Structure 1
Amino acid sequence: MTVTDSAVRRRRRLILPLATIGSVLLVPWTVYLAFALPHHYVARRWAWTWTGFDIVLTLALAATALLAWKRRLMTVVAAAVAGTMLLVDAWFDAMTATSGDQDESLLTALLLEVPMGPLLLATAAQITLRVARALATAQGAQHARWWQVPMQRPYDATAPARPDPTP
């Protein structure tokens, strides 16, 4: 077992319970919010909130474009972030628009954000699957169905040792 394998296992042992507990705790919290939050709320720093979100969305899209142009694996992360942010933007634009802005918000969401968000998420998934299949092929393994691709192949004690690429 390499240091990298050990670090991956430690990170997994940390993230798995945190994600599980977080998802379980969010269920009653979401139900509570559905009944407790007011239907109308005046927010402070509204312009900064949306401007900041759009700046980060712009950076995520620019990073996706640059990384894809350079054919870098980190395109997966940037595309997943950008795709998610586009869907969140569409949701909040549509849900918070005033009656005068509703048509513009829905049009933008339906023509740009909703189609582009899933496209970027699908791109991230496709790149991940291609890399996993290429690794499986390089290791002489069969291609797994997309929902069966493991994050990490089991350690093979009979495989020749490879030098750790990290310094």
Structure 2
Amino acid sequence: MTLVAPQIRTSRSPRAVAGVAGALRRPRLATVLTGAGLALVPWMVVLARTLPQTTQVSNWSTAWVGLDALLAVGLTGTGVLLRRNDPRAAQVAAATAAVLLVDAWFDVTTAAPGTELATALTLALTAELPMAVTCAVVALRKP
């Protein structure tokens, strides 16, 4: 004769139990991320005081072409996913909006005074920032 243990039934499904475990870890993750963000503040002060105003950079063109390639992939991917009504378009659009803001920031802040700065500002105001807003709207819209 075999002893059979009674089955214990719970009202929580395995998915619900996993959700509870995730909820318990969420405050810890929030604390780590908040701490990391706050730790950057004194680091920014150090950088502001110690970095030179100008510098020579290796692979300058590679950095800019790489950033523009990332934008091309993000914008194209967002468009393709939107056309397919794929909900992943929101995540791609959000990332692309962030990269567009970074691109505008670095275009303007690294431009030489004069025509180069005027061109960078014009591109930021007429192309990069409006596209970033467009991508943000896509990212925030209800599916």
TM-score bracket for the superposition, by shorter chain length:
0.7 to 0.9
Residue number among 65, 73, 77 corresponding to 2:91 in the alignment: 77
Report the secondary structure of 1:101's partner residue: helix
1:109 corresponds to which residue?
Answer: 124
Gaps of 5+ in 2: 1-11
**Aligned-residue offset at 1:17:** 2.6
**Which residue matches 2:61?**
47
SS across alignment from 1:41: coil
Q: TM-score, normalised by structure 1?
A: 0.69
> In structure 2, do the counterparts of structure 1 residues 11 and 74 end up closer, same or farther at CA, with 3 Å as the change threshold?
farther
CA RMSD of the aligned region, Å?
Answer: 1.9
The structure where helix makes up a greater share of residues is: 2
Q: Structure 1 pair 84/11, CA: closer, same or farther in 2 (3 Å)?
A: farther
* Equivalent residue number for residue 140 of structure 2: 125
* Greater Cα radius of gyration, structure 1 or 2: 2
Count of aligned positions: 128
Over 4 Å off, 4+ runs: none
The one-letter amino acid paired with 1:16 is A
Gap regions ≥5 residues in structure 1: 132-167
Which structure would you say has the larger RCO, counting Cα contacts within 8 Å and 6 or more residues apart?
2
Q: In structure 1, how many angstroms separate the alpha carbons of the residues matched to 2:53 and 2:111? A: 13
Shift of 1:33: 1.2
Using the aligned pairs only, state the percent identity: 31
> Equivalent residue for 1:94?
108
TM-score by length of 2: 0.79
The letter for the 1-side match of 2:86 is R
Q: Which of residues 75, 82, 92 in structure 2 aligns to 1:61?
A: 75
